[in-house]
Amino acid sequence: MSKTKAMIIGSGNIGTDLMIKIRDTSDVLDIAAVVGIDPDSQGLAMARDSGIATTHEGIDGTQKLDVWNDVQIVFDATSAAAHAYHDEVCRAAGKQMIDLTPAAIGPYCVPVVNMSEHLDEPNVNLVTCGGQATIPMVHAVRRVSESLPFAEIVASVSSRSAGPGTRANIDEFTQTTARGIEIVGGAEHGKAIIILNPAEPPMIMRDTVYTLSIGASEEDIVASVNEIIAEVQRYVPGYRLKQDVQFELFGIDRELNIPGYGPTAGLKTSIFLEVEGAGHFLPKYSGNLDIMTSAALGTGERIAELKHGVAA
């Protein structure tokens, strides 16, 4: 059975890594075109060398390509600001979009949590790198709890792995990640922080997840966390706990004051993660970028398998 034709908008680090992942590892997707705006970009050069159609005229140039009509899935690896127009063009052409920017036009999708719910959506949003790394852990705690009043994440990444697109989208990153913690992770109130660390040698992505839950045991949380980690490792092998899950109990005589929420009794859980990239194109310390391209690949393959009838 033939593969589903896909196109990548964005020939920077993320788009190029995704291209290599699909080209070298996917049994169900075929990269038909790569789109950029810089004719001299490394990503477009690599695509041309691989026999993939390219254009440096952005989304408007794609309709001049012979493969445009064959493309069914479009990955957007540009910016939140650019995505709105890309979405408009692709919707009009009946193409399904997987959005790697923080634009959040479509519903949030975290593969291990809710991917099956959104396979028919014209546009699915992969939240952010911090969201892809931490929302599975928020979900792991929420699913074994009666309620989850609060969850906060801190994503620390190497400044070397934060390109101009990431830096331009810092506000969107924190806002979109916080909403994803609530909508997908299940927290009543979510907060997100990103830290760009200039350390040399570059640090591997580190993520800290704090939750305050009600009605869950420490044993159930640890078991749920380990189960979700194993599921994420199926598409991001470098995703792992950095140390044991930590707990602190707050009773009614010593409630935790949550800004914007108020004093609350419950079980505080601290989860410490490390995300190492696969090294397909990006350095292994760029786990923040690798988890996005890996999630995009997994989502695209699932759509191809279930919606377009492509067998792996």
Note whether 272 and 243 are within 8 A (CB).
Answer: yes
pLDDT of residue 311: 54
Cα–Cα distance between 245 and 190 in angstroms, integer?
20
Mean pLDDT for all residues in the chain: 94
The candidate with the shortest Cα–Cα distance to 43, out of 163, 201, 170, is 163
pLDDT tens digits along 247-301: 999 998 999 998 878 899 999 999 999 999 999 999 999 999 999 999 999 999 9
Q: How many helices (H) and strands (E) does the chain have?
A: 10, 14
Q: Residue 193 pairs with which residues in a beta bridge?
A: 154
pLDDT of residue 264: 92
pLDDT of residue 102: 85
pLDDT of residue 191: 96
pLDDT at 164 over 80: no
152: CB partners within 8 A, 6+ apart: 190, 191, 192, 193, 209, 210, 211
Lowest mean pLDDT among 5-9, 79-83, 182-186, 221-225: 79-83
pLDDT of residue 91: 96
pLDDT of residue 292: 96
Cα–Cα distance between 63 and 59 in angstroms, integer?
8
Q: Strand 73-76 relative to strand 4-9: parallel, antiparallel, unpaired?
A: parallel
pLDDT at 308 over 80: no
Cα–Cα distance between 108 and 85 in angstroms, integer?
19
Q: For 208-231, what is the mean pLDDT? A: 98
pLDDT at 184 over 80: yes
Dmax of the chain from CA atoms? Answer: 69
109 has catalytic annotation: no
pLDDT tens digits along 100-117: 998 889 999 999 999 989
Cα–Cα distance between 177 and 104 in angstroms, integer?
10
- Domains of the chain in sequence order: 4-127+291-306 (3.40.50.720), 129-284 (3.30.360.10)
Q: For 19-34, what is the mean pLDDT? A: 97
The number of CA neighbours under 13 Å toward the Cβ of 85 is: 8
What share of the chain has pLDDT > 90, as a percent?
Answer: 86
Q: Is the peptide bond before 122 cis (omega within 30 degrees of 0)?
A: no
pLDDT at 26 over 80: yes
Burial 206-226 (b: 16+ CB within 10 A, else e): bbbbbbbbeebeeebbbebbe
pLDDT at 310 over 60: no
Note whether 15 and 293 are within 8 A (CB).
Answer: no
Q: Which of 59, 80, 90, 129 is catalytic?
A: 129
The candidate with the shortest Cα–Cα distance to 286, out of 182, 196, 191, is 196
The candidate with the shortest Cα–Cα distance to 273, out of 162, 147, 133, is 133
Q: Residue 35 pairs with which residues in a beta bridge?
A: 9, 55
pLDDT tens digits along 141-159: 999 999 999 999 999 999 9
Cα–Cα distance between 102 and 267 in angstroms, integer?
31
pLDDT of residue 260: 79
Cα–Cα distance between 257 and 269 in angstroms, integer?
15
Q: Residue 250 pairs with which residues in a beta bridge?
A: 266
The candidate with the shortest Cα–Cα distance to 188, out of 197, 179, 196, is 179
pLDDT of residue 162: 83
**Is residue 20 packed enough to be buried (19+ CB in 10 Å), middle (13-18) or exposed (0-12)?**
buried
Q: For 35-43, what is the mean pLDDT? A: 96
Burial 68-80 (b: 16+ CB within 10 A, else e): beebbbbbbbbbb
Note whether 13 and 283 are within 8 A (CB).
Answer: no
pLDDT of residue 202: 96
pLDDT of residue 218: 98
Judged by DSSP in three states, 74 sits in strand
